[in-house]
Structure formats: structure tokens, C-alpha cells
Amino acid sequence: MGYEGRFMPMVSNASKAIGTVILNYKRWEETIACLESVIASTTPPAWIVIVDNASNNESIIKLREWGAKSIAAKAGGATHQVEAMQFDNFIDYDHESRELPPPASIILLRLPQNKGYAAGNNAGIRLLLQCGAEAVWILNNDTVVEKYALEAMQKRLFSKKRPGLCGSLIIYRGTNTVQCRGGGRTTPWTGLSYLDGYKFTVSEALADTSDAVEKRINFIYGASVMVSRAFIETVGLMDERYFLYCEEQDWAYAANGAFDLAYAADAIVHHNEGLTTGFYSKQANLKSLYYLTRSRILLTAKHHPWALPTVGLSIVFAALRMFWRRVCCP
């Protein structure tokens, strides 16, 4: 991955019990790649929950096969990265199960219905809190993490007086181009957000201190976010009405400044999201645009209702621009 040798964070011996949630919907190959990168962490999480959002393909079969093969290989003394992991169990779990998974478990949590990003991750978070996790690391399944990322995020999050949410340095996979530093900032008047450090080189992104970045951002980007137990117990889980987009902005707004937002510059995460395809490009997915627009309106109505007229105008302008690009300039 190219950057891991540059970062070797020192973490207190008082390590926290961290759980990781990876949400899967059909894309089991990416989920396994993400999972294997987390397993390779210098200090792996106590639990990893793979939440399957009612995939209607072979995801469950493939994930079960991976789990059975990995645990069996470990028991047989295999020494390569995955089978040498510090996990003893691969547990097939469903929403009606009652017995809590022990530490050192990878859990496949099967949901009966796809209710969106927030609902899927919330199911994993609930389970991890019941297990005793002191923080939860939420990862997009199209990410691959470097081995020091979890340690770095834990260190930065719990260095704060009011540990809330912590983000990573997210790089477009296979490039030297940054997607974001930790998170970004949402402008209430338009409901639009920008990602801090977007399209910087890694060197440019690292020129700023974490403290400086934290002063600019007002949300943590959801592709990689570590959230403290105290934050969840005080602010609550993600609002499941969003289905897709703006959940992370809403979460930060809901805290109303009661918790600190953190950025761990040495927590490197590689993201497979497209670098060139924007929301309003010719290639943009109409369904995604629908959910983005819906979520912008919901976010504004909930937190800044006085800005609904200007957000509405911004949406109309964006729709006209998209129409022009798709129809008038094919």
C-alpha cells in the first residue's frame, strides 16, 4: 500500500476494546479485502462484525467459506497473514441471536432487510456495545487499511478531553491522491459539503497538522470513522431515515459540540471510490443523486430549517446543470 513504513504511532499500553463494523451489500470480494487488511493491523480489534445488508447474491456463502477456511487454517498452524490472525472464532450470527460473541471473534451478522447504510451499521454498533466495546470503527467495505491505522485512530480519539468521532487520512486506492483528511465541512446555506484536503497529494495533505485540520472540519467522513461509546450513549445511533448520504454530517450536528472531532493523520485508509466520477457528472448514478438530494433536504430541515429556501435553489441549479450535461452536451 506504500505508506505504512512512514507511520509507526506510539500507543498507550491502556488499549481500549475496539470493535470494527464492515457493511456488506453484494460486494463480498471487497469486503474480504477490507477484512483481511483489518486483521493485519498491528493491534487488531477485539471483534469484527461483518453486517450483510440482505444481499441477494452469493455473499453469505462466500463469506462463510472464507471464515471456515481461515479459522481451519489457523487451527492447523498456517502462518501466512490471514490465518495467523488473532481471532479464534468465525460466528454466523443473525438478528435474533441471544448469546453474545466472545472477544477474538469475527461475526457475520445477517440482516433480513436492507434498510440502508445507517441501519446496517447501527445493527453492528448495537451488537458491539453489548459485547463491551469502548469504541467502534466503522469502515466502508471498499476500503483497505494500513496496519497502524487502528492504533493511530485509537490514540488520537482518546487523547481528546471529550472523545467523540475520529477520522483517517483517506487516499484513493492505487494513487497518491487524497480523498479527505478526516472529514470536511458542510455549508448550511446550500447543504453541500466539501472534504478537507480533497485531491491533495499525500505530501501536501501531511503539511497541515491534525490540530489545524480539526479546527476546520465539522463532520467526520463515514468511509472510516471511529466513534466512542460515550458519544453513542449520549448522542445516539445514526439517524436511519437517511438511508444513504449525510448520516455522518447529521451525527456530528446532533452532538452539538458536546464531543470532540479528531483527525488521525497517521491512520492511512485506501478507498476504492471513483476518483473522476462526481455526483453531477454525466456518469453519475440517478439513484445516488436521488438519495443525495433527499438527504440534503432532510439534513437541512432537521438542523437548519431557515436554510431550506437556499438549499432548494441549490438543488434546482444542480438539476439544471445535470440536465444540460446529460441531454444538451451528450
Q: Which region among 1-10, 70-79, 155-164, 260-269 has the lowest average model confidence (pLDDT)?
A: 1-10
What is the mean pLDDT of the segment spanning 178-205?
96
Question: Using 50, 70 and 90 to split pLDDT, how confident is the model at 200?
Answer: very high
pLDDT at residue 12, rounded to an integer: 45
Q: Which region among 89-103, 189-203, 299-313 has the lowest average model confidence (pLDDT)?
A: 89-103
Alpha helices in the chain (DSSP H): 28-39, 59-75, 117-131, 149-157, 202-206, 210-216, 229-235, 247-255, 286-303, 308-323
More confident residue, 302 or 1: 302
pLDDT at residue 315, rounded to an integer: 86
Which residue, among 170, 52, 34, 58, has the nearest Cα to 114 in the 3D structure?
A: 52
Question: Using 50, 70 and 90 to split pLDDT, how confident is the model at 76?
Answer: low
**286 backbone dihedrals φ, ψ, rounded to 5°:** -65, -35
- Other C-beta atoms lying within 10 Å of the C-beta of residue 116: 21
- Return the bridge partners of 21, or none: 49, 138
At 317-330, the pLDDT tens digits run: 877 776 677 676 65
pLDDT at residue 274, rounded to an integer: 56
- Do the beta carbons of residue 50 and residue 35 sit within 8 Å? yes
177 Cβ partners below 8 Å, 6+ apart?
171, 199, 200, 201, 275
Q: Give the CATH fold of the 4-271 domain.
A: Spore Coat Polysaccharide Biosynthesis Protein SpsA; Chain A (3.90.550)
At 213-253, the pLDDT tens digits run: 999 999 999 999 999 999 999 999 999 999 888 999 999 99
| pTM for this entry | 0.88
Rounded Cα distance, 325 and 3, in Å: 38
Boundaries of every domain in the chain: 4-271, 286-328
Going from the C-alpha of 189 to that of each of 23, 257, 276, the distances in angstroms are 32, 20, 26
What is the mean pLDDT of the segment spanning 146-172?
97
What rounded mean pLDDT belongs to the chain?
Answer: 87
Grid cell of 182 as nine digits:
478526516
Going from the C-alpha of 180 to that of each of 10, 30, 108, 204, 261, the distances in angstroms are 23, 21, 29, 12, 15
Rounded Cα distance, 24 and 38, in Å: 15
Residue 278, pLDDT above cutoff 50: no
CA atoms within 13 A on the CB side of 271: 22
Which residue, among 50, 28, 27, has the nearest Cα to 39 in the 3D structure?
A: 50
Question: Using 50, 70 and 90 to split pLDDT, how confident is the model at 303?
Answer: very high
Grid cell of 85 as nine digits:
490472525
pLDDT at residue 241, rounded to an integer: 93
Rounded Cα distance, 243 and 279, in Å: 17
pLDDT at residue 171, rounded to an integer: 98
At 51-73, the pLDDT tens digits run: 999 999 999 999 999 998 887 76
Q: In sequence order, what DSSP letters do the residues of 29-92 get, joined into one string?
A: HHHHHHHHHHHTSSS--SEEEEEE---SSSHHHHHHHHHHHHHHHHHTT--STTTTSS--EEEE
Rounded Cα distance, 260 and 262, in Å: 6
pLDDT at residue 14, rounded to an integer: 53
Q: 140-169 burial string, b = 16+ CB within 10 Å, else e?
A: bbbbbbbbbbbbbbbbbbbebeebbbbbbb
Grid cell of 3 as nine digits:
505508506
What is the mean pLDDT of the segment spanning 143-160?
97
pLDDT at residue 317, rounded to an integer: 82
Burial of 218 (0-12, 13-18, 19+ CB in 10 A): middle
Which residue, among 86, 84, 83, 87, has the nearest Cα to 69 in the 3D structure?
A: 83
Q: Considering the chain, what percentage of its residues have pLDDT values greater than 90?
A: 71
